[in-house]
Amino acid sequence: MTRAIPSERWLTAAAAGTPLLLALVLALALALAPRAGAAGEEPSRASQVNVVGAGTLAVPRVVVRTGPSARAARIAVLAQFRPDFRPQYVLALDAVRARDGRPLWYRISVPGRPNGRTGWVRASALELQPVRKRLVIYRGARRFEFWDGERLVRAGKVAVGKPGAETPTGLFYVTWKFDPRIDPDWAILGNYAFETSAYSKLTDWPGGGIVGVHGTPWPWLLGKAVSHGCVRLRNSDIEFLRYRVPLGTPVKIVP
């Protein structure tokens, strides 16, 4: 249903009345006026992500292959836990299913260099959950959108990689989250940080190379291409996303 917006004649008439009436009319006009980028905005094609699910490994080691067959060549071997004992998360992009609908193989996004690698793993090796949420980064527009299904939850300005250290484009996912404020050496990451499966030529991330999505102590740099590949958000935006973005959430970076 379309909501009526107060007309110019109505506002003029209200201006001739009492200050209280004018204030009420202006408040109503602001409440009813459409807002660009507001929650409830229809998702664009660029903001859509089609994946099967995300989750962890159910076995100590998982062989990633070039095709959905035990005879296919190996691409990589993933361990159930990372070297720091944190669980390994994966994002499943597609599935091969039996006639009764049971998944037999999943095609996953393979974290690490080079970006964009995918491969097949046995379905029994994964523990997946459905995915509804996604983080979309528009590199050229220097903007992020956080979607929950068909609902735009939050949007804002970002800083991206500078020339020579561009933020890579593609479909990635959140592999870990942490609060950099517990270590003063990483104050550059602002109030909170998401680690992703993407890699850049050089980043400010601990260990180097990983593309992070994090806050910043320098909000005046947002809207610019200044980082070593990471995506910087306002501290208020990353704090908002902190508990709303689970591990395994897709991160889509478009040109």
Residue 56, judged by CB atoms within 10 A of its CB (0-12, 13-18, 19+), counts as middle
Active-site annotation holder among 131, 135, 160, 230? 230
Residue 58 known to be catalytic: no
Active-site annotation holder among 134, 139, 177, 214? 214
Residue 228 known to be catalytic: no
Nearest-angstrom CA–CA distance, 206 and 41:
36
DSSP structural state of residue 255: -
**Among 162, 193, 157, 199, which Cα is nearest to 178's?**
193
Can you name the residues that pair with 129 across neighbouring β-strands?
A: 54
Residue 167, judged by CB atoms within 10 A of its CB (0-12, 13-18, 19+), counts as buried
Query: What is the residue type of 238?
Result: I
Query: What are the strands, taking DSSP E only, across 2-87?
Result: 53-57, 61-65, 74-79
Cis peptide before 114 (omega within 30 of 0): yes
The residues annotated with a catalytic role in the active site are 214, 230
